[in-house]
Amino acid sequence: MGVATYIKDEKDAVKEVILQSGIKIKPVYTPKDLEEVGFKYEEDLGDPGEFPFTRAIHPLGYRSRVWTVRQYTGFGTPLETNNRFKLMISHGQTGLNVAFDLPTQMGYDSDHPMAEGEVGRVGMAVDSLEDFQIAFEGIRLDKIGTGLTINAIASVMLAMYQAVAEHYGYKKTEISATPQNDILKEMIGRGAWIYPVEPSVRLIGDTIEYSVKELPKCNPVSVCGYHIRESGCTPAQEIAYAFLIAFAYIEEVKRRGYEPEEFVGRFTFNLNIYGNLWENVAKFRAARKLWARLLRERYKVKDKRALFLRGIFGGGGSGMTKQQPENNIIRGAYYALTAALSGAQTTALCSFDEAYTIPTPRAALLSLRTFQILMEEIGLRDTVDPLGGSYFIETLTKQMEEKILEEMEKVEKIGGMVEAVKSGYVQKEVARQAYEYERKLQKGEIVKVGVNKYTEGVDMEVELHPYDEKWAEEQIKRLHALKKRRDNKEVSRCLKELKKATEEGKNVMPYLVDACKAYATVGEMADVFREVFGEHKEPSIF
């Protein structure tokens, strides 16, 4: 029954349903419910493609354009990852979303002691531009957009993406890259941070400013409510926190003299789908409406396209289970259905084996086929917003909007998201919600099929994607060879220029591009920032 609490009577009839966001669901909805929540068609719904975009950002929805499928991909060496990229593209995938290993995410080269045992394990190992050249060889970078799922050193990876595109003959004005680049959510929900809050936000400001000037097709930030949701927050909190994080980045760029209308249309979002279908559909519809309205009211944004809430709505890993893993195939199909009914422009699914392993080619293709079946066979392109006008859905969307605003107000009373992260308030709230969810799961108040109900049966054998120790050996060998043959005087010059620019408060992006082209390593560039900024110290939340 999803991530909702069901209270039953002695005859097993459902007496009460409470969604995770705290909304109580009635057994029947009528026009009176719309009156009670103050629903107005023009203000709350409108036509597809028109403000407030509750129904869709495009007038004809999926009739005019199909969603982009951007499965999360990357493991081992750049060559292994390149092969998987090409496999998925050959089967109809229309975008890339790159997974990086932990050493890369944390700004360590593959030969660093901290990288031991982790090189290529949970994503692709990247040490230098040479690795990007291998990973993106044969990929049409002017046709395929690429998500770069990295945060603390997103500035380095965006610079490297520009460098590899230019290496292969593409103009920087032709390429579309979307680094995740959301360090505040890392500090809230995931932990892959390096530098303190203020300089980390400054680096994000640098990527946004640089993209406005130099990379017209790139989306320099993808605000990631997804990982905060995975860490335990409610659907309403996911949107509230994501919006407040976005506002923090907007304020950083505003301080540099830019008007939000100049850059906010480049913001994208990475948002989560698992659990109750109706709660998720209402969440996305309310989010589109609120984002447009808040940008117009707070930041005086007028341009229609700059008001769009764009991004990837993805099937959440927290919904997948190790128990009875074949059930995850069905879960994934419903998550994809939720994305379609919510009007997602881009989407991805966690594969059925993801609770065990990096997805095997078979599992990854099953996820891709799930999307293709929904788009080609089931009728989801027939009409825009098929749930629009439902007494239930419109009431729930209004209630979800109110819950999101309530959660935003709590954080704004503290002084905004930067202060809430520095103090540990948001981290504490997410941890509390995660505890409540686990408690209810163990007590059976939240049902998880195959985990705490209908547990009979034999679990299938899952084919594991083995980790090959040779990947690390190959990566380190190639790294050492690179350091011997590159122009180390030029590398030293570029790193000195990068340090000077960092100390002087200049935009670091042009200096990072130069360093990447000289084959400076990820660790060398990240260490420049470590030396200047220091490292983040996590606040105590207990």
Mean pLDDT on 289-297:
98
The pLDDT score that the predictor gives to residue 12 is: 81
Span of 24-28, 254-258, 279-283, 361-365 with lowest mean pLDDT: 361-365
| Alpha helices in 305-359, H assignment, sequence order | 327-342
Mean pLDDT on 516-527:
98
Edge to edge, what strands does the sheet with 95-99 contain? Answer: 72-73, 95-99, 145-149, 177-179
The pLDDT score that the predictor gives to residue 316 is: 82
The pLDDT score that the predictor gives to residue 45 is: 95
> HSE on the CB side for 381, CA within 13 Å?
14
Check pLDDT > 90 for residue 469: no
Place of tokens 């023009």: 42
The pLDDT score that the predictor gives to residue 5 is: 85
Among 50, 93, 47, 21, residue whose Cα is nearest residue 405: 21
pLDDT tier at 465, thresholds 50, 70, 90: confident
pLDDT tens digits for range 152-174? 999 999 999 999 999 999 999 99
Average pLDDT value over all residues in the chain: 94
Place of tokens 């180390």: 488
pLDDT tier at 1, thresholds 50, 70, 90: very low
pLDDT tens digits for range 38-61? 999 999 999 999 999 999 999 999
3-state secondary structure of 109: coil
Check pLDDT > 90 for residue 412: yes
Mean pLDDT on 343-372:
90
Check pLDDT > 50 for residue 223: yes
Round to whole Å and give the CA distance between 327 and 9. Answer: 28
pLDDT greater at residue 537 or residue 202:
202
DSSP summary character for residue 347? E
The pLDDT score that the predictor gives to residue 70 is: 84
Prediction pTM value = 0.95
Q: Are 225 and 242 in contact (CB under 8 A)?
A: yes
pLDDT tens digits for range 229-272? 999 999 999 999 999 999 999 999 999 999 999 999 999 999 99
How many whole angstroms from its chain centre is CA 498?
A: 29
Round to whole Å and give the CA distance between 120 and 118. Answer: 6
pLDDT tens digits for range 76-85? 999 999 999 9
The pLDDT score that the predictor gives to residue 65 is: 87
Mean pLDDT on 423-446:
92
pLDDT tier at 2, thresholds 50, 70, 90: low
The pLDDT score that the predictor gives to residue 462 is: 83
DSSP of 229-276: HHTT--HHHHHHHHHHHHHHHHHHHHTTT--HHHHGGGEEEEEEE-S-
Check pLDDT > 50 for residue 151: yes
Please tell me the CATH superfamily of domain 32-443, with its number: Methylmalonyl-CoA mutase (3.20.20.240)
pLDDT more than 90, % of the chain: 82
Among 329, 364, 333, 322, residue whose Cα is nearest residue 72: 364
> HSE on the CB side for 538, CA within 13 Å?
15
Round to whole Å and give the CA distance between 295 and 464. Answer: 46
β-pairing, 14-19 vs 24-25, is antiparallel
What residues are paired with 224 via a beta bridge? 270
Phi, psi of 375 (to 5 degrees): -80, -35
3-state secondary structure of 119: coil
The pLDDT score that the predictor gives to residue 461 is: 80
Number of alpha helices (DSSP H) and beta strands (DSSP E) in the chain: 20, 12
How many whole angstroms from its chain centre is CA 318?
A: 14
pLDDT more than 70, % of the chain: 99
Cα dist from 261 to 151, 181, 270, whole Å: 24, 20, 21
Burial class of residue 49 (count of CB atoms within 10 Å of its CB; 0-12, 13-18, 19+): middle
Helix H or strand E encompassing 221: strand 221-224
- 24: tokens are 């109580």
Cα dist from 352 to 14, 94, 136, 178, 402, whole Å: 30, 21, 27, 26, 34
Q: Are 283 and 341 in contact (CB under 8 A)?
A: no
3-state secondary structure of 51: coil
Check pLDDT > 80 for residue 177: yes
